[in-house]
Chains A and B, each alone.
Chain A
Amino acid sequence: METFFDTLKIEENICPPGCGVCREKCTQVQRSKGKNGSGIHEFHIPDLGVHMANTCNQCSEPVCLDACPSGSISKDEKDGIVRIDEKRCLGCGLCNLVCPYGGIDYRADEKKAFKCDLCDGSPECVNVCPVKGISLMKARSIVGYFHEDPLLKGSSLCVGCPAETTLRFVLRVMGKDTFLFGAPGCATNVINGQGIKCMINIPSHMSNMTTVPSTMTGVKRYYRRLGKDVKCVAFVGDGCATDVGFQPLSGAAERNENIIFMCYDNEGYMNTGIQRSSTTPYGGWTTTTPAMGRRKGKKMASKNVPLIMAAHEIPYVATAVIGYPEDFLNKLLKAMAVKDGMSYIHILSPCILGWGYSIPASLEVIKAAVETNYFPLWEYERGKYRITYEVKNPKPITEYTKLLKKFAHLEKEEIDELQEIVNRRFNRIKRLTEAF
């Protein structure tokens, strides 16, 4: 049984004081179904400056279900919604007593328990919130595509490294008949194993940094000759994809080999001691672009590799991040569907050690990179450019740089320059989407 389902997410403490629009809407919706109550509740404590809302999490293993003495609470196996069968509800209040998240209301006057039913999949509160603080997290639509996880437990990547999450996600979507290729880099240990330990449950091959696309070419052609449709997928770092191994990558793109090439870009040689690579951004600190005295990190802008790959006019090129899994999923599906040529996906993958941020902040960093347009999410599909995630109000680049120690030394002048690069690059993509 899958344990991932849709759930409502409410932003913390952004409700307008006194607002209760979500509850009013829910009450109205419930009334139309002949029910009395609301599945979402605002709560305001003006003295503490608290203005928030709360609803049911639709837990994967709900304790309310176990504590119901009449078996009237169920978790739907299809949509994951935890529902109360009103006809059987005793009104004893035990569910309210055991739910640690305040997801169930108990109404003594009506002798009924009441909770959010997620409007059977399309919650209306999401649409009415005046500050857009409620969103539906759609794990279900992604998990539906998941196959068995081929990455075994105990991989030797750093704790919290988003590259692991990314690789796991990619391989779960790829499913069977996937052949994984790697090159020396952070993910080496996962793809190649470590000592006598194997950490992956699908065929994989390690090449030199300079031979990944050529090896993939050979393997893909071999399978094709056998009549087997095997997905040849590379998962290599920016050192391999954009520096050392760029020529054979460009060559494979020019030959339009039917391979899926993915670069997890951590903007440097993180595995060997955090040296600069061609994707290290302007101003970024590395051990070879130090920040001391007049030296303020890397002097030149990063190489815009996804755009270069698009210039090869291969069928599919995209940028993706694990922080926007639905977007990522769509891109993987498109890449997998390409049978007549090459797909290239460029993934921004922050490095906890090399970029200098705390372990749990990976997603925060990724999201900030997207929301500031530092790393816009776009795709190039058979001649057409498209921005796949439009940032409504792009934040200033400082919202991103402030999270990372590698930018800590930047002063206004460099920040302005970085902002200028970000704007220029985003506008270029924007113009391409309009032009083609």
Chain B
Amino acid sequence: MRRALMFFVISSLFLSGCWDQRLYKDLAIISVIGVDGYIGDIKAYYAYPSSSDDPTQYIVLDGKGKTAREVRMDANNKSEQAIDIAELTTILFNEDTAKKNLYKMLDVYYRSAQSPMTAKIAITDGSVKRYLNLKETIPKEIGEYYLDFIKSFEDYSIYPKTNLEIAANLMFSEGVDLGLPYIKTSGKGLPQAKGLALFNGQKYTGVHLTQRESQFVTLLGHGKANFAELSYLWDKDGEQIPVSFSVIRFKKKKKVAQVGSKIKMTYEIKMPVVMTEYPPDHLNKKKKRDPIEKFIEKRIEKDMAKMFKKCQDAESDVIGIGEEIRAYHPNLWKEGKWKELYKDMEIKAKVNVQIERSGSTR
């Protein structure tokens, strides 16, 4: 028994192969990477924290090179410790880089076992350098900051949940396209989320949705996350009334029909809401509620129609209508030619809003 045990232990030690020790204390733990340029002339920025006092200090290394790996090696030469990206939280891409081909720039991450597949990707307006050298002091370390920044939008159903792994899946699937957070900064103040960058395959189309449109994409394509809030201003007989609500449930039914050579798709949405702002009050009366529900339904239908149009024009199927057609209506699906059909589709939304609760006051 003892001999068998020894044999087992020793052989498992040898069979495992080499385990390279990577001492945490000897590495520069990169938390954010920003990429400018494209293959042939890439410039990348690597940020890592240098002091844990508040406000957090961090160092930004820059690297230049022809390939993504070369850039990293170049940056490594400038650092006193070896660069390690195992705890990377966010990768920022210049929109010009993403327009050429995002996958080719990301390939370097997919080939290493130590790459964090949960890292977020975001598209920036203009050079990424500005997003890493923030003038404003931020309350957190910069990697944490961008991670929480994107995560909070995901929690509020504004962005669909994405990370390195999901992004790769979406870039290669035909029936659904990738949408990434689009952030913008004026140079002064903190960067702002400005909507959803629409992708067609592996390339950024150059079109981005607004935050509200992005929220509808998330609700339709991925369902409600933890929260979903909306706010409109109702111009009722010259009086400006704020109407804000939060979505309790978001149920959708899809109806697909073929009209001539076109595919017609109708979303029937049932959406119970809780009012979060409505100064005129008296929401307990059905007579008062009905017009508000009508107003909300109309506005959402209008906004959704705009969103569908924008996506179709950009040839980006971020909602994943293609997947639906391919799975449930295979006779309408044409392999390899989906985008042509998608462009001419007639997509509509019919919304049914119900004010289920009125908040603490009636």
- Do A and B pair up? The answer is no
* A residues whose Cβ falls under 8 Å from a Cβ of B: none
Taking Cβ atoms with an 8 Å cutoff, the residues of B that contact A are none
